[in-house]
Amino acid sequence: MKTFLSFNAILFLTLIPIISSGQLSILNGTITNQKTGNIIQSVNILELNSGIGTISNAEGAFSLMLKPGKAELVITHPEFKEFSRKLMLKNDTTVAVNLVPIANLKSKNKNSDGRNTAQLMPKLK
């Protein structure tokens, strides 16, 4: 009987690292506009090391299931400056990300005479 218990104990202790290596950490977050505080939907979130990504929902929220360890997030949206951050995931983690709006696009596209540069480009046939 002792041999049976010892064998089960050894087997259990051997399987612990295998079982625990399969665990994942959940990275939750919310994306907001730094200037207004409004939520931002349809933001691209990519973890570079794994290649796992998602898009923020209508509430500006996202969730990724990642292996614990080093993570590097890259967050992009056409109307905001790119955001990147390195994290060390040990457990489930929640982050709040404030994206900085890109300056008014209309003023960036103005020529020195005040006209839109798009008006100066020839039409392609």
Cα→Cα distances 95→21, 28, 31, 78, 89, Å: 24, 6, 9, 21, 11
Residue 98 lies in a domain: yes
Residue 119 lies in a domain: no
pLDDT in tens, the chain (125 residues): 555 445 555 545 554 554 445 689 999 999 999 999 999 999 999 999 999 999 999 999 999 999 999 999 999 999 999 999 999 999 999 999 999 999 765 544 444 444 433 333 333 43
What is the count of structural domains for the chain?
1
Residue 16 lies in a domain: no
Q: What is the CATH number of the domain that holds 45?
A: 2.60.40.1120
Q: Which residues contact 105 (CB under 8 A, 6 or more apart)?
A: 79
Residue 92 lies in a domain: yes
